[in-house]
Amino acid sequence: MSEQPLSGITIIDFSTLLPGPLASLMLAEAGATVIKIERPGGEDMRFFPPRIGPASALYAMLNRGKTCVEADLKNPADRDKVLALVDGADVVIEQFRPGVMQRVGLGADVLTARNPRLVHCSITGFGQSGPRSGEAGHDLNYMALTGLLALSCGTAEAPVLPPAQLADIGGGSFPAVINILLALFARERTGKGAVIDIAMCDAMFTFALFAHAKLAATGVLPGNGADLLTGGSPRYRIYPASDGGLIAVGALEEKFWAALCEAVDLAPEFRDDTRAPAATGEALAARFAAHDTAHWSTVLAAADCCATPLATLEEALRDPHFMERGLFDHIVETGAHRLPATVMPIAPAFRGPRVAKAPL
């Protein structure tokens, strides 16, 4: 596009690590100019392994296309330079604990008084208010405290860690982007900016939607691994094949369940999974254990029944479907090195150059 959706929008990003930088990356990919403010020597993510040449691969991927300015926010001269940048900006993103920005003279009240059109977005674990607002936490803590992790956490002998940063990304980055865009849209009508309080914990309740609906309707809370989408149904589970490969079954609807039963030749007495779900699950596990992953890959693809082998990340990156959709076409340059850019949930038509640099 010659003109991207966020062309002309300037964002001052004080955030570090994952949630804020990923949010500003999405906005940068849609055309915004992002100026990242880092402490002298750079933020912590710059030093995270693995490295590619002199730079952290994670830092490069999260900060593609941004400009970095180092500043000591406790230094009056540096603070004045930052204030001048904010005065001409549209959006500020910050990720400090509540009160930190106020203590260095850069609180939301100060910044929005100087620039009434400013959209100020804070991302924290627990939000700007409430008894936990000052507490430290990480992704796992936010899922644990909201009841989400208890819905599927393995056993006491073999507890299972989630494979993704659900709170950081789903509770931090995505809500920040959504609300920043809503605030910019509202500003077009009112001429006024906004102060946005994003708490990563809050959205974890949204992710537990099915459990909340069951509790509200029946008064019964789903147990660990016992609900429809957490292992309670044989229609939605992971089954080992004979070679140790795993098959992800998501045959929830009756037509898909019937097609799956036919494809794996499940005995007729087990196909009505409402009678004895445990027995059906055991019988289905035995069928999958009878053949290797390659066999089931062919059989299940032909059946089109929402059952697929687990791919490794390396296999997924070579999948012709994802390659044809251009998910891995963008590149980030860091010094003399190139690496794949972060896959973005931004429509290709809205994104900018295929190759962009990371700040060094």
What 3 state SS string does 169-211 have?
Answer: HHHHHHHHHHHHHHHHHHHHHHCCCEEEEEECCHHHHHHCHHH
Instruction: Identify the active-site residue in 13, 90, 168, 273.
Output: 168
Average pLDDT over residues 217-244: 96
User: Tell me, what's the pLDDT at 359?
Assistant: 92
Q: What is the pLDDT of residue 53?
A: 81
What pLDDT shows up at residue 155? 93
Q: Is the peptide bond before 348 cis (omega within 30 degrees of 0)?
A: no
Q: If we measure between CA atoms, which residue out of 59, 116, 65, 118 comes closest to residue 94?
A: 118
**Tokens (6 digits) for 128:** 């700007």
**Is it the case that residue 294 has pLDDT exceeding 90?**
yes
235-282 residue pLDDT tens: 999 999 999 999 999 999 999 999 999 999 999 999 999 999 999 999
| Whole-number pLDDT of residue 54 | 79
The pLDDT of 14-34, averaged and rounded, is 98
Give percent above pLDDT 90 in the chain: 97
Cα 290–266–295 angle (5° rounding)?
40
Burial class (CB in 10 A: 0-12, 13-18, 19+), 278: exposed
Q: Is the pLDDT of residue 165 over 70?
A: yes
Confidence band of 214 (pLDDT split at 50, 70, 90): very high
- Mean of the pLDDT values across residues 100-122? 97
CA dihedral sign, ordered 316, 321, 323, 326: negative
Would you give the DSSP letter of residue 149? G
> Do residues 48 and 61 touch, judged by C-beta distance below 8 A?
no
Question: Mean pLDDT for the chain?
Answer: 96
* Marked catalytic residue, from 138, 212, 295, 337: 138
What pLDDT shows up at residue 227? 94
Band the pLDDT of 335: cuts 50, 70, 90.
Answer: confident
Residue type at position 3: E
CA pseudo-torsion sign 63, 28, 195, 175 = negative
> In terms of Cα–Cα distance, which of 100, 114, 94 is closest to 176?
94
Q: Band of the pLDDT at 35, cuts 50, 70, 90?
A: very high
Q: Is residue 98 a contact partner of residue 133, using CB atoms and an 8 Å limit?
A: yes
Query: Rounded to an integer, what distance in angstroms lies between the CA atom of residue 221 and that of residue 215?
Result: 5
Q: How far apart are the C-alpha atoms of 112 and 218, rounded to whole Å?
A: 46
Per-residue confidence (pLDDT) for residue 242, from 0 to 100: 98
Band of the pLDDT at 2, cuts 50, 70, 90? Answer: low
> Among candidates 269, 291, 289, which has minimal Cα distance to 279?
269
pLDDT band at 231 (very low <50, low <70, confident <90, very high): very high
Q: Verify whether residue 212 is a known catalytic residue.
A: no
The answer to whether 335 touches 54, Cβ cutoff 8 Å, is yes
Residues 68-84, mean pLDDT to the nearest whole number: 97
Residue 1 pLDDT exceeds 70 = no
- CB of 6 within 8 A of CB of 27? yes
Query: Is 295 a known active-site residue?
Result: no
* pLDDT surpassing 90 at residue 360: no
pLDDT, mean of residues 144-170: 96
Region 62-89 average pLDDT: 97
* Amino acid occupying residue 80: D
Residue 17's pLDDT is 96
Report the C-alpha gap between 242 and 315 in whole angstroms: 20
| Mean pLDDT in residue range 2-16 | 95
CA distance 152 to 160: 8
